[in-house]
Amino acid sequence: MQHEFSHTVIREAYELSQHRCQCTDPNCPHHSDDEGRCRQILRWTAQDELARDGWRAVHIEPTGPGTIGNCQVLCSHCYEHAVATSRSTEPIAERRRLALATAGS
């Protein structure tokens, strides 16, 4: 069961990220930084948008709580990569839901 983040938590995570993508996946192809981090600047009003500075609040631990300690912000590119590699929680939850939906029929 996925625990949704409250708006307060999302806002806090966004502030804590200093408005930058927090992706540290070494396999993520979008990182040009020397430290292997993304650092894409995120626009607050672009949450859930696919814009260059769009972003998502995602769970660090998929089954963890919807708290600030379990929340990170990813730019739309890194989010898509996370979805593609099933590293992120949302696609896993999505897949589980689909599996459940097909299992019953």
Q: Under the criterion CB under 5 A, does residue 58 sit at the interface with Zn ion?
A: no
Least Å distance, CB 14 to Zn ion, is 14
Size of the site for Zn ion (CB under 5 A): 8
> What are the DSSP calls for 79-98, one per residue?
HHHHHHHT-SHHHHHHHHHH
Place of tokens 């963890």: 64
Task: Give the one residue of 9, 10, 13, 38 binding Zn ion; rule: CB under 5 A.
Answer: 38
The residues, ordered by sequence, that sit 6+ positions from 12 with a Cβ below 8 Å of its Cβ are: 68, 71
Place of tokens 């396999």: 27
Q: How many angstroms separate the CA atoms of 40 and 50, rounded?
A: 13
Least Å distance, CB 75 to Zn ion, is 3
Least Å distance, CB 40 to Zn ion, is 4
Q: Which is nearer to Zn ion, 41 or 68 (CB)?
A: 41
Task: Give the one residue of 59, 72, 78, 91 binding Zn ion; rule: CB under 5 A.
Answer: 78
Q: Under the criterion CB under 5 A, does residue 40 sit at the interface with Zn ion?
A: yes
Please count the residues of the chain: 105
